[in-house]
Structure 1
């Protein structure tokens, strides 16, 4: 390969980016728009890196991001993969992810916020800082709130140390939109906005089957149908958290399964008994019974 010619696919494979994207595809059901966007970002960064190697001038791309969507839609998992991509392409030194919320950044009295925020930033340097429910940093109705101080420190770092730290702000889309409208300086520094769609009931059933299998349990066909009905009903209730709510439902089904076997008295249990979640273990949920 001559000094002024580069094979993009070869570089892509050498950096093992496809390996990360393949793993993400395996780890997360659905989310096609998110996976497509992640691939686009990876391609942009690789092309920028190759341009730089050929002496073509261009400013470093703005890597700060916004992940919007409901809880349980894979935002933290994708953030981990993004950190890996950025590390393999040489955009961050360490490739680790530090996940925080408002409580980790904002103090409760004068002089408390700056040290807290700076300590978090120190831990995150060389990697990615993931701020979940970032809109809680800003409370315009409370004059004594110190969240704005944390935002000011973040703004300085986003501008002055963007080659050594990537910040991802995450939360519900509507509230994040309001957050950016209230903080134009912040909005202008976030270039990549990725929206995470809610999972369909069928996608959540696939996720549920994966969770059950990981825990060395199994669903019968009838149990799977009942669980799908449960998911469809639960999605209409408040505070539904996608994969997180499904995990909670499975945990409760396992508890009911254990109680069912415990109450069976002297019955000799087989391996099949111990690993199988029966329809009744799901049907006893308060969503079906109106109690519990």
Structure 2
């Protein structure tokens, strides 16, 4: 099925590196994109690469105005990283950047997974894949867990989807951007499944796991976005739990996605606590906003 987008991961922190001063018209064009990048927690190298793409596009405009050759760039990308590291959020920002710079006519994001591409019989997969490419024309086709297309071997219909995508990248050159996303090792394996893939994805972004301080920052921001306050004792409990989860190697840690689940579970627990506590009358505004340590029972649904 079509995948929902990742939760926005925002911060008021200033990025590590500031872009060079720009003239007013150019600065206005990039201002909204820069604001969204500044709000992301961490991801300094990703922010720098997005600005690098912007700079390339802007200088290409200048070269064109000066009568110089300025075409030929390919912008298909690989996003490598664990779940919840902001890949979909960055893909949306990149789509908006390309639309503003005239690379893409619409700048929308079509997010899909294996089930959306792979059919049940020969020929069905190719048609489903072509239909999704058509839907993505003017924007970005974002395939999460793209490596799953290569898992079934030669007789699996996933190979048909890969072949169709490779052909579409040639047939619809410069009409859409394809972004493949997934775990680092799995994506590297996937890239070996078709000899035409490596050369078609010149841009690769690595999305690192968030460190503990960044996860706490994301926790506070997600609570604030929902008009909730975390008590200091609640933050201490969450910090201890997140540290334990990050160190537990028995399962993949889903970063900001895991934090979001913790916050939403805590909000549900708070609702039950308040209803039981206030049988008659209503809690005050501060009580409605406060998430207490007892609201965080660390078993997720």
Please indicate, yes or no, whether the TM-score normalized by the shorter chain is above 0.5: yes
Structure 2 counterparts to residues 146-225 of structure 1, below 5 A: 146-225=157-236
Deviations 1:148-182 (A, max 9, x none): 11111111121232211111110011111111123
Q: Which residue of 2 aligns with 1:4?
A: none
Number of equivalent positions: 278
Query: What's the secondary structure of 1:193's corresponding residue?
Result: strand
- For residue 11 of structure 1, report the CA deviation from its aligned partner: 5.1
> Are 1:135 and 2:144 counterparts?
no
Report what 1:255 is aligned to.
268
Alignment root-mean-square deviation, CA: 1.9
Distance 1:256 1:8, change over 3 A: closer
Pair 1:51 & 2:63 matched: yes
**Which residue is 1:25 aligned to?**
38
Among residues 115, 120, 127, which one is paired with 1:103 in the alignment?
115
TM-score (norm 2): 0.87
Rg larger in structure: 1
1:119-130 alignment runs, 5 A limit: 119-130=131-142
TM-score normalised over the length of structure 1 = 0.89
Contact 2:78 2:180 in 1 (8 A): yes
Which of 194, 208, 227 is the aligned partner of 2:238?
227
Q: How far off its partner does 1:49 sit? A: 2.3
Q: Does 1:245 align with 2:237?
A: no
Partner of 1:85: 97
Partner SS, residue 235 of structure 1: helix
Q: Which runs of 5+ in 1 are unaligned?
A: 1-6
Q: Does the CA-based 8 Å contact 1:138-1:179 persist in structure 2?
A: yes
Segment drifting more, 177-186 vs 194-203: 177-186
Contact 1:159 1:189 in 2 (8 A): no
Helix, strand or coil at the partner of 1:55: coil
